[in-house]
Amino acid sequence: MQAFNPYLPSWEYIPDGEPYVFGERVYVYGSHDRFNGALFCLNDYVCWSAPVNDLGSWTCSGVIYRKNQDPMNRLGLRILFAPDVTRGPDGRYYLYYAFDFLGVMGVAVCDTPDGQYEFYGHVHYADGTVWGRRKGDEFPFDPGVLTDDDGRVWLYSGFETPVPAVMSRFRGHRNSGCVVLELEQDMVTIKEGPRLVLPLKTNHPPEDFKGHEFFEASSIRKIDGRYVLVYSSTNNHELCYAVSDRPDGDFRFGGTLVDQGDLYLHGNTDEARAANYLGNTHGGMVQLRGDWYIFYHRQTNQHSYSRQACAEKLERTPDGHFLQAEVTSCGLNGGPLKGEGLYSAGIACNLWSKEGTARYDRKFNKKIHPYLTQDRKDDDHDAIQYIANMKDGSVAGFKYFDLHHPSCIRVSVGGVCEGSVEVSSRPDFGEVLARVSVRSSGSRIWMSASMKEVDSIQPLYFRYSGEGAIEFYAFEIK
């Protein structure tokens, strides 16, 4: 079975994904957005997993932890932000989480990776004081946790933006950057720390981090004996990594692992000319079938509250350095998609308007930009994802296909429109492979056109030219 981006069903919205292999399956733990939600992470935690040898076959184990299981949130008013999971020295699985901006970190435990987790406690000092309640405590946020080879347990946390006391309930928090704590073998008591390991942009970071300083989203792995700390940079739409020979300091900047809009990949730093729309991202690394992958998320619905899980294969240099991955439609597939068959427009990895792209957390003109959405309510398994508001000059890109002399391409569109959909293997449309005439008064239609011969691995870009705006549902290569 082929694997796509997003790799979960199109109706599912799992950001902040942390992937781990336990046994013969890869499990993903993330927060849980709602389709067209008004805030981040409105749903409870669920767990998705797939066989390591079939990364296109994902199944959901259902809800593994509910927000109201924590004694501090019996009414369920607080929201579960990004979690992380580790297998403790005792063989049980420990889930670490923070409630939005409450300023504490909770822990739940389970005997299996995807079972029903039970509340275990709040991370606290030896005297029982909950971490985050002492004046001057570093703000607990975005846990990243590692059970080391020697059984020692390391917990990472950090957030750039100071949180008002009215939101955190406690006063006097600090936001210095990414900090690390060592936990006792009980997995919840602080043995040592917190200690600052990645300072903020405003807190004198090492020179090699310039332009990619820490913002949030700590995620820790041990790879070939070294500690690799993945994080979201101050740019917000990229995941970077830092490397050290020890877990509690001396981290050196490694580079960008992935950027939602492929910025920095080919020297482009212009956010208005990114390959996709930009918003926050968060994720972690995992080795699957001998290759390393970076997991991250994308935005939909013209905001950052309906995010979806994606992954890309990472290339390594002989010295172990990770190169920046390109955003694709086939991240976990192990190679290009088949150059024939039916494909949803929802797997678009590139999207922009005639005016370029933009960031969702800044001034954003919803009228001019295309966007991913779906035709039914949240969690409706029959929902169809599509690209809405593709006006004249809008482009949707899909990477990559192993094309062998296709003769025809069909497109499914709706909306009120009259014009054509051009197909090219080049983002500048220097060569047009097909031109499909489209005309609709609102109903969904299929239209087709002959296609120039191609016999190679190529991306496909679709550009609308004409009046009105199309809703782009699917395409078929024949």
Report angle CA 10, 298, 163 to the nearest 5 degrees.
125
Cα-based torsion angle of the residue sequence 231, 193, 100, 253 in order, rounded to the nearest 10 degrees? -10
Respond yes or no on whether the N-terminal peptide bond of residue 27 is cis (omega within 30° of 0): no
Beta bridge partners of 288: 291
Of 346, 352, 140, the C-alpha closest to 261 is 352
User: Distance of CA 394 to CAs 308, 327, 466, Å?
Assistant: 22, 19, 10
Cα-based torsion angle of the residue sequence 108, 113, 116, 122 in order, rounded to the nearest 10 degrees? 0
Of 143, 139, 180, 134, the C-alpha closest to 163 is 139
User: Distance of CA 345 to CAs 356, 385, 401, 416, Å?
Assistant: 19, 7, 14, 18
- Token couple for 422: 């051009």
Alpha-carbon torsion (278, 315, 285, 252), positive or negative: negative
- Token couple for 143: 């846990």
* CA dist., res. 162 & res. 434, Å (int): 52
**How many helices and strands (H and E) does the chain possess?**
1, 28
Active site residues: 16, 216
Contact 475, 343 (CB under 8 A): yes
Residue written as token pair 């003109």: 365
CA 131 to chain centre: 28
* CA dist., res. 285 & res. 54, Å (int): 18
**DSSP letter, residue 130:** B
Residue 210 burial (CB < 10 Å; 0-12/13-18/19+)? exposed
* CA dist., res. 114 & res. 60, Å (int): 9
DSSP 309-328: EEEEEE-B-TTSPBPPPPP-
- Token couple for 272: 């208005």
Q: Which residues contact 395 (CB under 8 A, 6 or more apart)?
A: 350, 351, 352, 427, 461, 462, 463
Backbone angles phi, psi at 419, to 5 degrees: 175, -140
